[in-house]
């Protein structure tokens, strides 16, 4: 089972970034750890992606009841497992079961680990002279997380791995937000103030009035799907990108 949590953490003085940690329940090993300006759907999807890319697909995901994980009709009440958030939809596409925490005690191990991070990281980043978000994340990946795992990681009770190597399609187009749209008379899809122009293709003469989906990926690039087929990729400004060109995250 994989745990994920995020906390506002002033790792660098005057910079209240959110620290996102995605870890193994059996060994207490963080597989993914990074700072972001603000926790949300994209940071949570990024954490899951980093686990799948480094370890493989897992079966169960455990988190708090944050609104990007779960809709909760009544404050403090049960989560709604039928009306999924974009994050929940992505987990469903991967066949990952989501489990919601209902008490701080249920997340005790992760709570203790966060206290350790909150105690150590400000000192370590200050000693390293780090003030920039990108540099802080590089330090987490290259220095802090390996040292933390060497000190705190516990051996699993059973041998072998519960992860399954990922052999599916592009994770970009699965671990993303998905929005249903209809193509307009101008052969464009309207999305958050942008007009996404659908290029001409050989499969049909036009897509006017066709139903499709806009994907927003963790690197903020976009795509339009018609059924299972991708019509085009776009940069975050809505400009069509050439095939196979991706913007670095």
Q: Specify the pLDDT at position 170.
A: 86
The answer, as to whether pTM is greater than 0.75, is yes
Separation CA 164–CA 5 (nearest Å): 23
Q: pLDDT tens-digit profile of 186-214? A: 999 999 999 999 998 888 889 999 999 99
**Cβ contact 137:34 at 8 Å:** yes
- How far apart CA 95 and CA 163 sit, in angstroms, is 13
Question: Under DSSP, is residue 52 helix (H, G, I), strand (E, B) or coil?
Answer: helix
Write down the pLDDT at residue 246.
Answer: 54
Distance CA 136, CA 124 (A): 10
Dist. CA 101–CA 77, nearest whole Å: 11
pLDDT, one tens digit per residue, over 84-134 is 999 999 999 999 999 998 776 666 767 778 888 989 999 999 999 999 999
What whole-number distance in Å separates Cα of residue 29 and Cα of residue 231?
A: 40
Residues 132, 125 contacting (CB under 8 angstroms): no
Domain architecture of the chain: domains with CATH: 2-152 (3.30.420.10), 171-241 (no CATH)
pLDDT at 245: 56
pLDDT average, residue stretch 222-239: 95
State how far the Cα of 145 lies from the Cα of 121, in Å rounded to an integer. Answer: 11
| Contact predicate 198/232, CB 8 Å | yes
């Amino acid at each position: 089972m994989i745990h994920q949590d995020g906390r506002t953490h002033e790792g660098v003085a005057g910079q209240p970034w959110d620290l996102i940690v995605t870890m193994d329940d059996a060994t207490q090993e963080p597989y993914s750890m990074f700072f972001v300006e603000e926790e949300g759907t994209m940071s949570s999807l990024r954490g899951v992606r980093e686990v799948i890319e480094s370890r493989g697909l897992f079966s169960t995901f455990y988190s708090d009841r944050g609104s990007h994980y779960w809709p909760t009709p009544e404050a403090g009440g049960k989560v709604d497992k039928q009306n999924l958030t974009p994050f929940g939809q992505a987990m469903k596409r991967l066949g990952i079961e989501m489990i919601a925490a209902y008490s701080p005690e249920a997340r005790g191990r992760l709570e203790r680990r966060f206290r350790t991070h909150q105690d150590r990281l400000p000192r370590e980043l200050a000693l390293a002279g780090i003030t920039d978000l990108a540099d802080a994340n590089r330090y987490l990946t290259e220095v802090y997380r390996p040292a933390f795992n060497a000190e705190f990681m516990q051996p699993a009770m059973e041998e072998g791995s519960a992860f399954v190597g990922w052999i599916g399609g592009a994770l970009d187009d699965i671990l993303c937000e998905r929005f249903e749209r209809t193509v307009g008379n101008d052969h464009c899809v309207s999305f958050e103030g942008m007009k996404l122009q659908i290029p001409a293709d050989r499969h049909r003469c036009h897509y006017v009035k066709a139903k499709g989906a806009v994907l927003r990926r963790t690197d903020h690039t976009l795509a339009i799907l018609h059924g299972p087929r991708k019509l085009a990729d776009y940069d975050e400004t809505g400009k069509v990108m050439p095939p196979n060109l991706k913007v670095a995250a």
